[in-house]
Every structure is written in structure tokens, then in C-alpha cells.
Structure 1
Amino acid sequence: MAVVVVTDSSSSLPAELTAEWGIVVAPLHVLVGDRTVREGVDPIEIDYSADTVSTSAASPGELREVYEQALERSRGDGVVAVHLSRQLSATWEAGVQAVRDMDAADRVRVVDSLGAGLATGLPTLAAARRARAGAALDAVYEAAVTAARRARTFILVNRTEQLRKGGRLSSAAVFFGSELVTKPLLQIVEGRLELREKVRTRSKAYGRLVAAAVEAAGTDGAAVAVQHLGAPEAADIVSGQLREQLPDIRELIVAEFGPALGVHLGVGAVGVLVVPGGCDLPTDGAG
């Protein structure tokens, strides 16, 4: 068979891509009032401004079941599971615990993507492409790790209350300036969400978002992803500017943030992820 690649639903990969590359998606949980729903599985209607909405990671037991099914599908070739940053969620830790509880733990590798959203999705895609090429378990794992290390993520948000409350962004990082008159531009650094700068107007903020992504992309081509929550027009503007300013762009994915991330980022959030050099890694030594 071939190595099977697993990710969690926060990776935001469009369904057509997960189907095309045989990627298995483990659902995270969204807590709406007294209900727990599985992202990407159960229907979810969310008021993103409500204080009664939160999220939780998949449990070790849930991930163990997903990994065991994927391992069976691989016919023993192995599983690489790529999850959102351990600095932002307990999902990676749950995955590590799940592997410890498995009989065939040596055939499963768990990767910290050092990111969230498509910053998890593109390393997952890199791994799946290497697996499709017939690579062995260690090579598929390295494809994910390499793409994750190279990825750079920038996110423009309207508010940071939920991120502060959840401990994903320090109060000290955002204490200066009112969010009514400034727009926080965040970045992910070594898996942590940090404030990059505050911009006075939304139009200037889009420009700074694009400029940061272009600088990070380099000159050797890049895989690029644009994400948004309820802001398709903004995503179109940003993706159009990226196409103009990155003529050697290798691929561009535009997707919406799912509920598990949207709860924390809020409506209107727009993010850009770049992987310098792209996600189509060499297949030398694939066997």
C-alpha cells in the first residue's frame, strides 16, 4: 500500500484536496452552549460573537482510533499525523499519547506543524504528495517537518479578546492602542502567536499583510494559502495582490477558516501562509 497521512480538522484543507490525496481528517470539537459538535462532521451554526462558544482538542482515544484505522489502511506501511501547533492546542499532545497507547507505535509519526489552519494543511499536503510518490515512513515524516519549518503565517484580526482569554496571545503583546482604531496583524513564530504590528486602517492592514507574505515568500517560488472567516471579498483582494507581486507563485489555495479556529479569530479575519520553495519536495530516496 502506502503511508497514510492524517491531520485534524483545523488544517482547513478543502475537501477535494483531502479526497484527492487520501488524507484522513480527525475532527476537533466545538462547544456551542451545552452541545459538543465535531468540526467537519456534525452541522454547526455558530454566533462567533457569543461568549458561550469555545473549542476543545480531540481526545487521545479518538485519535488512537483514527490512527489505527489509517494504519490498517496503509497495510503496515505507516501513518504520519500532522497537527496544529502544540503551543495553540492540546491536539498534538493527545496524538503523542494516542501513539504511546498503540501496539504498533513505531509505525506512527506525529508532527507539530508549528502553525494552524493551512499552516498545518500545507505540510500535510507535502507529506501526502511524498506518500503518493511511494516514499517510506521516515521520508514522508521529513516532508511534513520540512514544510512546517519553512512555513510563515500572518493573520489580520478585528479583535483579540478570545485569543487573550484562551491564553493563545499574551495581554502584554496587545495592551497598547485601541482595537477600535488599530488593526492587529499577528504572526506565528515557532508555533506561538505573536503581535507583529498594529495598523491604523483596514486598507493599509491588507497592504501590510501582503507585504509581509511577499517578503517571507522569497524569490524561488512559494506555495501560498489565503484564509478568511466571512470575508471573501477581502480574501479576493489579498489573493489578487499576491498573484501580482509573486509572479513565480507555485500554487495558491483560498479557503475559509473552520469553526475551531474561527471561534478564536472572529469574523473578518484574513490570514496568509507561505511556504518558500513550495510543497512539491524532491522524491529522491523515496523508497
Structure 2
Amino acid sequence: MSRHVAIVTDSTAYLPPQAMERHRIVSVPLTVVLGSQALEEGTEISARSVAQALQKRKSVTTSRPAPEMFAAAYRAAAAAGAEGIVSLHLSAEFSGTYDAAVLAAKDAPVPVRVVDSGMVAMALGFCALAAAEAADSGGDLDETVAAAEKRAEGTSAYFYVDTLDYLRRGGRIGAAQALFGSALAVKPLLQLDGGRIELREKVRTASKAIARLEEIVVERAGVGAVDIAVHHLAAEERATALAERLRERVPGLAELYVSEVGAVIGAHTGPGLLGAVVAPK
């Protein structure tokens, strides 16, 4: 079945491969630089490799896709019959990915609407799914963008990290917040707010922080229909346990995804990350 609007996102959406295939969502990879090697997320480097490198205190940085990578994706979509493209990306506060997509869109063979979701991980993924569902239903460019933006407005993301040091090193959180998180062995709970990472609460121990994370997610989910994603980095047992508890406690749960984040987000959060995305339907 042909579709007039194609959906493009980037590799930080961490969508399940089956969902991407089913909804024909194209992903453009960001790059992880490990030592002197530049590797594409998703195909050339795993999150586990990044976690191991960070634990050994090796240099790990990330970079946006080149505009030509987006241009190639847009050309391919047009060649496949798309009359327009919605290109959805992680928060411009985190990366130059949005800017690269905007540059590529200027010379695309069909109209491209580039959207800064203000999100990352499955918070971005849920926006891409909403856009794809709108396009599958025959939505035009405006309707497809509106569906993605509406999902973004209602979506919340919360996460726990063992240390703020990796976020500080990458410039994703302020030095004052990082210093605070290190003082007195405080374990911070963070959230996405306005496309930025903000400190939400301070908790004394890891176990209490994870318990509080669960409570926040349950409260935010409420009783209506909701999709949830649980993310982790090198913390599979924590993530599985949290997912099972949420399955029991969230009455309107529709889809529940559990996955390890990719190399790009892992490079900035470090091992021990546990996060949850709440996306009301």
C-alpha cells in the first residue's frame, strides 16, 4: 500500500525493529566516536561496548549525522513514491541532528517538515509512531506533523543515573547540578523538560530512587490508555523488574516496551541508567 507521507527519524528513537518495519519508518544513524574510531549507532557499535569503554574511562563522544545522510534518506523516500516527508528528531538542545536535517530538507525533491520533538529515546519513538499512524490513515503533511506534536506534548520521560558525571562531561547537564548530585551521595531523579534534562528530585539511595521513579510513572500514567517504555544501560534486571511492576500497577497500559538504550544515549548517561517514558494515547 502506497503512502503519501514518509516518516524519517534518527537512531536515538530506539524503536523496536518490528515497529519500524511495520510502519515503514526510516532511521538515520548518529555517530559514536570511540577513541579514534567513528562508528554508526545501531550497526557498528553497541550500547554494551560503550558501557564497557566508559567503565574503563576511555574517550567516548558523539556527533550528528552529516546532512548528506538525511539528503539520501529524503531522496530515497521520494523515489519510493512519497509526496512529502516528516522528519522527527531528538531535542535540538542535545544535538545538531535537527539542524543537519533542516539543511538537507532545503534541497529535497519533495516537501520536508523537520520537527524538533524536544524528546529522545522512546519519547521520540512514540512521536514517530504517532506520525506513522497518521500517515498510514491518509494524513497529509500538516496532519502527520500535528499527530507527532500532540503525542510529544503529552509524553513525559523520567530517569535515574548512578552518577551525573557522564552528563556533565558531555555538557548535557549543568556543572552546578552535577556537583549537587555528587554531594552527600545524593541519587538524582531527572526528567525531560522543554527539551532539556532537569533535576526533578533528590533521593538518598539507589533503591529509594528507583522506587520513587516507579511511583512517578504510575502517577503520571493515571487510569487512561497509555504506552510506556522502560530503558536501561547495563541494568537489565532493574529494567525487567520495573517493567513487571508497572504491568501490574498501570490499569490502562496498552504497549510496554523494554529495551537497552543505544550507544549515543549510553555515552552520555553511563552504565546503570534506568528510565521510563510515559505516553498517553
- TM bucket, shorter chain: over 0.9
Secondary structure of 1:206's match? helix
**Range with greater deviation from structure 2 (205-214 or 39-48):** 39-48
**Contact preservation (8 Å) 2:13, 2:121:** yes
Per-residue CA shift, 1:221-260, capped at 9, x if unaligned? 2111100111111011111221222111121111110001
TM-score (norm 1): 0.91
When residues 63 and 195 of structure 1 are mapped into structure 2, their CA distance, relative to the original with a 3 A threshold, is: same
**Range with greater deviation from structure 2 (79-88 or 212-221):** 212-221
Aligned length: 274
**Contact preservation (8 Å) 1:154, 1:271:** yes
Alignment correspondent of 2:154: 150
Q: Please identify which structure carries the higher helix content.
A: 2
Secondary structure of 2:253's match? coil
Residue 62 (structure 2) aligned to one of 38, 52, 55? 55
Q: Provide the C-alpha distance between the structure 1 equivalents of 2:259 and 2:190, rounded to a whole number of angstroms.
A: 19
Alignment correspondent of 2:237: 233
**Contact preservation (8 Å) 2:230, 2:275:** yes
Per-residue CA shift, 1:186-206, capped at 9, x if unaligned? 100010101111211222111
Q: Provide the C-alpha distance between the structure 2 equivalents of 1:139 and 1:12, rounded to a whole number of angstroms.
A: 24
Query: How big is the shift at 1:103?
Result: 4.3
Are residues 1:200 and 2:204 paired?
Answer: yes
Alignment correspondent of 2:88: 82
Alignment correspondent of 1:97: 103
**Contact preservation (8 Å) 1:186, 1:196:** yes
Alignment correspondent of 2:77: 70
The code of the aligned residue for 1:215 comes to: E
Aligned 1:89-128 pairs, distance under 5 A: 89-104=95-110, 107-128=111-132
**Contact preservation (8 Å) 1:117, 1:257:** yes
When residues 177 and 270 of structure 1 are mapped into structure 2, their CA distance, relative to the original with a 3 A threshold, is: closer
Q: Provide the C-alpha distance between the structure 2 equivalents of 1:159 and 1:97, rounded to a whole number of angstroms.
A: 35
Query: How big is the shift at 1:176?
Result: 2.3
The code of the aligned residue for 2:213 comes to: L
When residues 179 and 5 of structure 1 are mapped into structure 2, their CA distance, relative to the original with a 3 A threshold, is: farther
**Contact preservation (8 Å) 2:6, 2:85:** yes
Q: CA RMSD in A?
A: 1.6
Unaligned runs of 5+ in 2: none
Q: Provide the C-alpha distance between the structure 1 equivalents of 2:127 and 2:155, rounded to a whole number of angstroms.
A: 8
Secondary structure of 2:179's match? coil
Are residues 1:266 and 2:270 paired?
Answer: yes
Query: How big is the shift at 1:64?
Result: 1.4
Alignment correspondent of 2:226: 222
Alignment correspondent of 2:6: 4
The code of the aligned residue for 2:41 comes to: E
Runs of 4+ with deviation above 6 angstroms: none
**Contact preservation (8 Å) 2:158, 2:191:** yes
Query: How big is the shift at 1:22?
Result: 0.8
Secondary structure of 2:180's match? coil
TM-score (norm 2): 0.92
Alignment correspondent of 1:170: 174
Query: How big is the shift at 1:52?
Result: 1.0
Q: Provide the C-alpha distance between the structure 1 equivalents of 2:103 and 2:231, rounded to a whole number of angstroms.
A: 30
Q: Provide the C-alpha distance between the structure 2 equivalents of 1:64 and 1:179, rounded to a whole number of angstroms.
A: 46
Are residues 1:159 and 2:166 paired?
Answer: no
Per-residue CA shift, 1:107-151, capped at 9, x if unaligned? 211111111111111111111122222222221111111111111
The code of the aligned residue for 1:124 comes to: A
Secondary structure of 1:102's match? coil
**Contact preservation (8 Å) 2:164, 2:181:** no
Alignment identity in percent? Answer: 40
Q: Provide the C-alpha distance between the structure 2 equivalents of 1:122 and 1:154, rounded to a whole number of angstroms.
A: 15
Query: How big is the shift at 1:95?
Result: 0.9
Alignment correspondent of 1:23: 25
The code of the aligned residue for 2:207 comes to: S
**Contact preservation (8 Å) 2:78, 2:109:** no
The code of the aligned residue for 2:258 comes to: V
